[in-house]
Amino acid sequence: MFLAVLGASGQTGVHLVQRALDKKHRVLALVRDTDKMNGLVRDDSLEVVQVDVMSEDSIAAQLEGRELDVVISCLGRTDRKSREPSTFHSDSMREVVGAMRRAKVKRLVCVSCWWTVSWPQDGRPWWYRWFVQSGWSATHEDLAEMEEFITMSCTDINYTIVKPPIFLTDGPMDTRELKAAQLEQVPFSGFRPSLSRANLAR
């Protein structure tokens, strides 16, 4: 397959790019700063290009004419720990989808997270959901808007929204079986559900 990866120089994106290349896929890394990819992935077949992720024209210029199979977005705020309101995820996704339509790419995978919406079926007490959502409310609201845009306005796109736990770690990829469920989140035990970025990429 031929994959275009947005946010390829990020903590999750690097793992995804490396795993895709290890599986002999072609990868086009779309990054805001090409210098950040230096030394992160060692594969001569990787093509790295700079794009403005807030510009449909900039993204489309790199997607058009390449016969891509899928666009994968691992985009995240550079100030991801900030609690200031932001529309980065929702605004950039609108530009990405617009570019995909121009390039006639029909498959989209993007990373969001748990608890973007209230989901009492998770079995957590109300105060736990309040604690988690209040800590990342600015990002969650933006990701919720991004998800709503995709699900309501992208019926022409074959999309998957990947929702890992909010506590991502730098741990290694392991050999445990990974399963996906079509839910807002999956049952878990303990106080701090986590997943390594390497396993998320896997």
Assign 123 to helix, strand or coil: coil
Give the pLDDT confidence of 114-162 residue by residue, as tens digits. Answer: 777 766 665 566 666 666 666 566 788 899 999 999 999 999 999 999 9
pLDDT at 113: 85
Domains of the chain: 2-201 (3.40.50.720)
Question: Which of 131, 61, 126 has the alpha carbon at shortest distance from 99?
Answer: 61
Assign 93 to helix, strand or coil: helix
Question: Which of 60, 103, 76, 86 has the alpha carbon at shortest distance from 162?
Answer: 76
pLDDT at 182: 75
Give the pLDDT confidence of 167-195 residue by residue, as tens digits. Answer: 788 888 888 787 777 766 666 666 677 88
For strand 2-6 and strand 26-31, is the pairing parallel, antiparallel, or unpaired?
Answer: parallel
Sign of the Cα pseudo-torsion (24, 28, 30, 34, in order): positive
pLDDT above 60 for 81: no
Q: Mean pLDDT for the chain?
A: 86
**Which residues fall within 8 angstroms of residue 144, CB to CB, at 6 or more apart?**
116, 117
Assign 91 to helix, strand or coil: helix
pLDDT above 70 for 78: no
Per-residue tokens: 41: 């992935």
pLDDT above 70 for 90: yes
| Residue 192 amino acid letter | R
Alpha carbons 106 and 97: distance in angstroms, whole number: 9
pLDDT above 80 for 166: no
- Contact between 125 and 191 (Cβ < 8 Å): no
pLDDT at 186: 66
| Residues 127-140 as b or e (16 or more Cβ within 10 Å = b) | eebeebbeebebbb
Q: What is the mean pLDDT of residues 102-110?
A: 98
**Which residues fall within 8 angstroms of residue 57, CB to CB, at 6 or more apart?**
99
